[in-house]
Amino acid sequence: MNKKTPMRKCIGCQESKAKKDLVRVVKPKDGDIFIDPTGKSNGRGAYICRSLSCLKKARKSKGLDRSFKTSISEEVYDALEKEMMDLES
């Protein structure tokens, strides 16, 4: 029997992709938003492609704001952009 591949939607480009191909962004109850490389951290998660262009789209369309039902500051997007650059290199 084949195992189903978990699918998630990118908050940038709105495409459904395999969970393992996306990066999880987490907002824990008590704290700061960060990229979760393990995909297992506690908190509300949103998924985004491993590309800066999708992060820019998410920033423009306020994708994270919608996912986390709160307003996200520019500093958080800047920090995520920096983490994303580290992932790409």
Q: Global pTM?
A: 0.86
Overall fold of domain 7-88: Hypothetical Cytosolic Protein; Chain: A; (3.30.1230)
- Contacts of 20-28 with CB under 8 Å at 24 or more apart are 21/49, 21/50, 22/47, 22/48, 22/49, 22/50, 23/47, 23/48, 23/49, 23/50, 23/84, 23/87, 25/64, 25/67, 25/80, 27/68, 27/70
pLDDT tens digits, residue range 27-78?
A: 998 878 888 888 899 999 999 998 899 999 999 999 999 999 988 888 888 8
